Amino acid sequence: MTNSAKIYAGLKPNVPMVSYQGAEILNHSDYSILNSVEMDKKYILEVLDVVKFFPVKAMIQYSNQIYCDTDDGWIQDYAFRNNVDLISDKNYIKAQQRDPLRMVMIGEPEIIINLEVALKSQLSNDLYITRSLPHFCEVLNKFADKSFSIDWICEKLDINKEKTLAFGDSYNDIKMLQNVGYGVAVFNAVEELKNVADQVLDIDGNFGIIDFLNKTFS
């Protein structure tokens, strides 16, 4: 069970869980896959052809496996924390045998910014490319983002999207906040997200979200 799934289980909600930026939507009761949007494996080499010019680590991820060409301690820890198998894959030969959920590149924030620009300049028409954290650049199917996931859930559950609410903190939440009825940026959100949010919280951490929910729904 991934970290996000553990948190989700602790909250005991009764709605689908969005994971991997929206590449997967899981059933709330047994974590079975309700919807999955993989990235075509033909793009793996195209992404790697851009990535090779940047001093970053790259991993290719499936629901329960990560393929990487380096035995890096940080990636080992990432795989352990997310309860997925880490597979050594020199030149990513094995990973190219099937469609992955996403590719994740890890590096210094300044390098990740430049990598994102380079990837978007060549592949933005075919793939969804985003920074999820300052040191993460992720590449997915162009329909695998939280915004499309919200559309999918609203359609399946017959929810009026104008009545939806979302919280976000990073670059990969921008489209999501723009696609809900009311978008809220948390206190420590990146400036780009704050600029598109309907409201920015003035209390840090989870207490800010709790305070907002209490004031809004009590």
pLDDT per residue as tens digits for the range 29-58: 888 899 999 999 999 999 999 999 999 999
Domains and their CATH numbers in the chain: 41-141 (3.30.1240.10), 160-218 (3.40.50.1000)
- Report the alpha-carbon distance of residue 100 to residue 98 in Å, rounded: 6
| The pLDDT value given to residue 78 | 84
pLDDT computed for residue 1 by the predictor: 47
In this prediction the pTM is 0.86
Phi-psi label, residue 47: left if phi above 0, alpha if psi -120 to 50, beta otherwise: alpha
What burial letters (b/e) apply to 182-209, b meaning 16+ CB within 10 Å? Answer: ebbbbeebbeebbeebeeebeeeeeebe
Phi and psi at residue 76, to the nearest 5°: -60, -45
pLDDT > 50? residue 162: yes
